[in-house]
Chain A
Amino acid sequence: MTNEELKTNITALLPSATFEEGGEWLTVLMDPKEWKPFAQQIRFDDALQCNYLFCLTCIDWKTHLTMVYHLSSTAFRHNLVVKAKMDRSIPVIETVCDIWRTAEFHEREVFELFGVTFLNHPDLRKLILTDDFEGFPLRKDFEDTVNMIRL
């Protein structure tokens, strides 16, 4: 499916979605509240079948956080990027680890490094950092006075 066809399909599923232009893959922008039902739809839709979540990460833009999901279909070989803008002070988004199992660990990683809370996640605790670690190291305003130098 080409990006234009994807766009048509997705607009039909979610009329409120906006699109980011200029990338190789189609980028869908949406509200975090719309993400979970939308994820369910694109995963099980016969024409889309985005059954492969090959990247899940977060970006700190200083003013807000953005969740980024890279999806692919092993049946049709099309790729799709979904971005959801979140409030930096209370970043909350619904978990998708019941749809794509791989999201479970990826979400735990984003949780420990960015402090994003994933609602209904079965086991939301730190993955790599020690349990007593304070702060979210991948946020731009993270400061570690012991180990880091301010340039």
Chain B
Amino acid sequence: MVTRQLEQVKVQPKEETFPGQIHETPGGGIVLSKLEDVINWARSNSLWPLTFATSCCGIEMMSVAGAKYDFSRFGFEVARATPRQADVIIIAGTIVNKMAPVLKRLYDQMADPKYVIAMGACAISGGPFFYNTYSVVKGADHVIPVDVYIAGCPPRPEALLNALITLQEKIKSGKTREQIKSGV
């Protein structure tokens, strides 16, 4: 079981359970506290990642998809091969100048609301070993906005799981990316 380190995130964790009141009525029925909360809850628990991996971190991402770590436990079951059906893109690997427009296009083609995870040193800042070169973009956030960063080279599968859970917490909080960053 992955231990949660929610104090790292500036988001107040919400109740993990279904965000509404369930009233047993004949035939069954529910009363909701807030429709918005239910939508965020549903969204966060069924994030579909885009199959996008440019280097070694991709192998780590596959490992997370595999039986040992299995991100389908958190609702990341359906890795889509098209941006039209995905709502989270995990940038697993180096982004070079030639790849940047492709990444931008993929991000633009994803349906809103969309989320971005920058996985590993390359996606965060251009990487530990080919940072000083003519071809590498020094961080994927030069191209598209990023919600969650994962340090490591490559990050362990647990770190990616932690990032996925962190992203879910952010979505459940119902705040925008800007609100979260400014710590409102």
Contact = CB atoms under 8 A, between A and B. Distances in A.
B136 interface: yes
Interface in A105-151: 128, 130, 137, 142, 144, 147-149, 151
B98 A137 contact: no
Interface string B130-143: 00111110100000
A144 B97 CA distance: 13
Q: Is the interface of B mostly helix, strand, loop or mixed?
A: loop
A148 B98 contact: no
B134 A147 contact: yes
Indicate the size class of the contact surface on chain A. under 10
Contacts of B98: 128, 130
A120 to B, nearest CB: 29
A133 to B, nearest CB: 9
B75 to A, nearest CB: 39
A137 B134 contact: yes
Contacts of A142: 134
A151 B132 CA distance: 10
A151 B131 CA distance: 13
Contacts of B136: 147
A128 B132 CA distance: 19
B134 A149 contact: no
Contacts of A149: 132
Contacts of A137: 134-135
Nearest to B134: A144
B131 to A, nearest CB: 9
A148 B134 CA distance: 6
B174 to A, nearest CB: 39
A96 B34 CA distance: 72
Nearest to A147: B134
Contact of B133 (A128, A147, A151): A147
Interface string B118-154: 0000000000000011111010000000000000000
A130 B138 CA distance: 19
Contacts of A130: 98
Contacts of A147: 133-136, 138
A114 to B, nearest CB: 14
A7 B135 CA distance: 42
Nearest to A130: B98
Contacts of B134: 137, 142, 144, 147-148
Interface in A16-30: none
Interface of A: 128, 130, 137, 142, 144, 147-149, 151
16 contacts: A128-B98, A130-B98, A137-B134, A137-B135, A142-B134, A144-B134, A147-B133, A147-B134, A147-B135, A147-B136, A147-B138, A148-B132, A148-B133, A148-B134, A149-B132, A151-B132
Given A147-B134, A147-B135, A149-B132, 7 more contacts: A128-B98, A130-B98, A142-B134, A144-B134, A147-B133, A148-B132, A148-B133
